[in-house]
Amino acid sequence: MEQTSKPVARAVLVGVQLHGVTDDTHHRDLDELERLVTTLGYKVVGRIAQKKRSIDGGLVLGEGRLMELAALTGGTGKVPKKGRGRRRGGAEDEGDEPEDDVDLSVVGEDDDDEWWLPPPARADREAEVVVVNHELTPMQMRNLAAATSAEVLDRTGVIVEIFHRHASSPEAKLQVELARLKYVSPRFAASGGGFDRAGAGIGAKGSGESKIELDRRRVRDRVAEINRQLHELEAKVSVRRKRRQDALRCALVGYTNAGKSSWMRALTGSGVLVEDKLFATLDTTVRALVPETRPRILVSDTVGFIQRLPHDLVASFRSTLDEALEASLLVHVVDGSDPAWPDQERVTRTVLDEIGAQDIPTLMLFNKADKIDAEARVIIDRFRHVGMVVSAHDPADVQRVRAAIVDRLLGAMPEATLVVPYDRQHVIGAIREETNVLDEVFGDEGVSYRVRAAAHVIDRLRARIDPTWRPHDPDDDDA
């Protein structure tokens, strides 16, 4: 029996070019939105753009552009006037904006004072989904859905949905669900229903509770439960981090789809997911650099950044971003083949500043060297003093990057000499495991090791060699 494939949903993009935004930036924003929508599995069939000073008010587009959009989606281009944003009986929804915010020039007449539903779309429509490159209010989403007879998503909704589909670990799933609930909760009223009374009627006490109130209460309860579960998971993550606290760590950071996972695989030999999609990686992966060094260097892959990343997602993934905050070195991966890389690099630095990682030493990689054209390479060459032009698919480049990481981390550690008496040979294994041994000399009293390691590691090894040894306290010099 042949399986019929599910038809691909068609989407039209809506971009509002606000005052002060250049044409190039506006087009790049729409290109990025198209990549986001494609990641969701939709097929983009058109774009509607308009220059405006703001998107305040009940409708996103002006009358002409709205009619163009409706022609693509099979809608009427008009919003029912009566019943718009009201409960039965005439009371306005909680959180609705004043009716004066609606552009009345595109509001149609409707004799029905009940809650409206979008009129059925024409069979010949080209798109079933409208995606707006801004965050919309619940009323704007409701009005746009009524005018277009299509499903309406805003930029934040698209990103939240991508995160929802790509989360795989229990922690990531909870983090995404938390952000999703915070996004959906204030938009219940935009769904076009949910105002029937639950519990009201003959034999019921009181006026009852509306379905929307029930839904919101359930959301609050679920948010509280998720926060409790995340707190328990965070305790387990903290234990794992404490076990790694003596290890040298570098974190791969950068814009989404810049190639961080490709570098994770190249540097550690791990089988992490590598896909040409936005936000393919949401779960933090920690692996040892290969070939392994002594002491070991751990590499962590982090969630990618994007401009206007919803604040709830940033907050939800704070524990994931802490991997960057606790690293000794940040490897900032930039897609050098993308013309918008300067903006993407700026977005990444802004997020790192927000989490307090701005002072951590950084190695910048201009990735995808095999795809960088001559014009882009001229611009990138100006930044060679802060970065390397490389490709994760070039073994020679992988070795260069590995050597740079080792040099940055091991080369920055202090040198020390440890003399191990022959009757304390059990310490030698720890020295070779936890330090970078530069020299080994056998003498009459024991073995002398010249090593590089973190100061606290050296202090711990000295105490193991001589239990009576104590770190030097500068205050003793003043006594």
Residues 326 and 433 in one domain: no
Residues forming a β-bridge with 132 = 14, 154
**Amino acid of residue 319:** S
Domain boundary among 128, 162, 196: 162
pLDDT of residue 419: 93
Answer whether residue 64 is part of any domain: yes
Return d(Cα 330, Cα 327) in angstroms, integer: 7
Q: How confident is the model at residue 233 (pLDDT cuts 50, 70, 90)?
A: confident
- For position 262, which CATH number holds? 3.40.50.300
Of the ranges 100-109, 293-302, 395-404, 453-462, the best mean pLDDT one: 395-404
Using alpha carbons, list the distances in angstroms from residue 456 to 61, 183, 434: 61, 45, 11
Residues 75 and 185 in one domain: no
CB atoms within 10 A of CB 478: 6
pLDDT score of 131 more than 70 = yes
Answer whether residue 4 is part of any domain: no
Return d(Cα 32, Cα 282) in angstroms, integer: 19
Residues 132 and 181 in one domain: no
pLDDT of residue 449: 94
Domain boundary among 410, 439, 457: 410
Could you tell me the two tokens for 185?
Answer: 């909760």
Spatial contact of 390 and 400, defined as CB atoms under 8 Å apart? yes
CB atoms within 10 A of CB 167: 19
pLDDT of residue 247: 73
pLDDT score of 100 more than 60 = no
Residues 252 and 152 in one domain: no
pLDDT of residue 43: 93
Of the ranges 33-37, 94-98, 373-377, the best mean pLDDT one: 33-37
Answer whether residue 293 is part of any domain: yes
Please report, rounded to a whole number, the percentage of residues in the chain having pLDDT higher than 90. 29
Phi, psi of 152 (to 5 degrees): -115, 130
What's the domain count of the chain? 4
Residues 423 and 307 in one domain: no
Q: How confident is the model at residue 159 (pLDDT cuts 50, 70, 90)?
A: confident
pLDDT score of 291 more than 80 = yes
Spatial contact of 142 and 97, defined as CB atoms under 8 Å apart? no
Residues 428 and 474 in one domain: yes
Answer whether residue 107 is part of any domain: yes
pLDDT of residue 320: 62
Return d(Cα 427, Cα 449) in angstroms, integer: 12
Quick check: helix, strand or coil at residue 427?
A: helix
Average pLDDT, the chain: 78
pLDDT of residue 71: 92
Answer whether residue 5 is part of any domain: no
- The full DSSP string for 268-282 is H-------SSTT---
Answer whether residue 271 is part of any domain: yes
Quick check: helix, strand or coil at residue 50?
A: strand
Give residue 277's region: left, alpha or beta (phi > 0; psi -120 to 50): beta
Residues 206 and 309 in one domain: no
Higher pLDDT, 345 or 196: 345
In 73-114, at which residue ranges do the beta strands (DSSP E only) sit? Answer: 79-80, 107-108
Return d(Cα 28, Cα 344) in angstroms, integer: 11
Return d(Cα 71, Cα 40) in angstroms, integer: 24
Answer whether residue 30 is part of any domain: yes
Angle at 328 between CA 428 and CA 405, to 5 degrees: 80
Domain boundary among 235, 265, 289: 235
* Element holding 372 (H helix, E strand): none
Q: DSSP character for 122?
A: P
Residues 221 and 311 in one domain: no
Answer whether residue 240 is part of any domain: no
pLDDT of residue 208: 47
Residues 91 and 190 in one domain: no
The separation between CA 278 and the C-alpha centre of its own chain, rounded to angstroms, equals 9
Spatial contact of 78 and 104, defined as CB atoms under 8 Å apart? no
| Burial degree of 428 (CB within 10 A; 0-12, 13-18, 19+) | middle
Phi, psi of 52 (to 5 degrees): -145, 160
Spatial neighbors of 284 by CB under 8 A, at least 6 apart, are: 300, 301, 302, 303, 320, 323
pLDDT tens digits along 253-272: 999 888 888 999 999 987 65
pLDDT score of 274 more than 80 = no
For 203, the domain range is 167-235
Residues 147 and 51 in one domain: yes
pLDDT of residue 315: 64
- For position 40, which CATH number holds? 3.40.50.11060
Please compute the mean of the pLDDT values over residues 189-193 and round it to a whole number.
48
Residues forming a β-bridge with 18 = 52
Residues 357 and 461 in one domain: no
SS (H, E, C) 191-246: HCCCCCEECCCCCCCCCCEEHHHHHHHHHHHHHHHHHHHHHHHHHHHHHHHHHCCC
Residues 157 and 171 in one domain: no
